[in-house]
Chains A and B, each alone.
Chain A
Amino acid sequence: MLSFTRDAYDAIVRHGHGGGDREVCGVLAGDYGDGESHVTDVSPVENAADTPQTRYAMDPEELLAVIDHVEDAGSDVVGFYHTHPAGPTHPSTTDVDRATWRGYSYAICAFDGHPFLGSWRWRGGGFAGERVAIEG
């Protein structure tokens, strides 16, 4: 399961709305667990992809700085999020091909309708869906 504070969940939706037709992305921070993680903070990261309407690529320097900041603050990196402005509501084959952080959550907020946020753990050979909840 991946749970969010209300503020963290809303921050992702706002970020996605602000991106318009471009995919946006960021880091999820909080308490990490292999089966259950809790997100308390969201840090946007620049989408450096050449075609941000359909791709995202976190800028490596900014990503590393955010990870260091999260860990220096005594928190955990829980996973990552990105948006699909026109869907789908689940990982694409591109998402599967590019995933690298085994055991971490990859959350996707889709905007082809009412914003819908789903999350999947990367298990090496594929994504495993996990329940998303808003708590605290």
Chain B
Amino acid sequence: MRVTVEVVGEETRNVDVAADATYADLARAVGYSPHEVSVMVDGSPVPEDQPVDAGRVRVLRLIKGGSSGATLGPPS
């Protein structure tokens, strides 16, 4: 099936995926790990393991991080 995928902040493209593809497969098809993004349908996240049943989706790159973990030296 063909799905119109907008990567928020980047471009919109049409992607062909298998009939049994999941939203995680769709994220990978546009170059992102499912852990890096939320696939959004009508403004809400959809479970990554759910089969694709929307003709248009938005892939939102997640914004997260924090002060935990080893720290780097100040970047240049």
Q: What chain B residues lie within 8 Å of A64 (beta carbons)?
A: 8, 40, 43, 58, 60
Classify the secondary structure of B's interface with A: loop
The B17-76 residues at the A interface (CB cut-off 8 A) are 32, 36-38, 40, 43-45, 58, 60-76
B45 adjacent to A54 (CB under 8 Å): no
Residues of chain B lying within 8 A (CB to CB) of residue A89: 74
Q: Total number of A-B contacts with CB less than 8 angstroms?
A: 110
Q: Mark A100-131, 1 if CB is under 8 A from B, else 0.
A: 11001010000000000000100000111100
- Chain A positions within 8 Å of B43 at CB level: 61, 64-65
Residue of B61, B73, B74 near A101 (CB, 8 A) is B61
Cβ contacts under 8 Å, A87 to chain B: 67
- Asked if A60 contacts B65 (CB within 8 A), the reply is no
14 A-B pairs within 8 Å (CB atoms) are namely A49-B64, A54-B68, A55-B65, A56-B66, A60-B60, A61-B45, A63-B60, A63-B63, A64-B8, A90-B73, A90-B74, A92-B65, A100-B32, A128-B76
Chain B residues within 8 Å of A, Cβ to Cβ:
8-9, 32, 36-38, 40, 43-45, 58, 60-76
Residues of A within 8 A of B (CB): 23, 25, 45, 49, 51, 54-58, 60-61, 63-65, 67, 77, 80, 82, 84-101, 104, 106, 120, 126-129
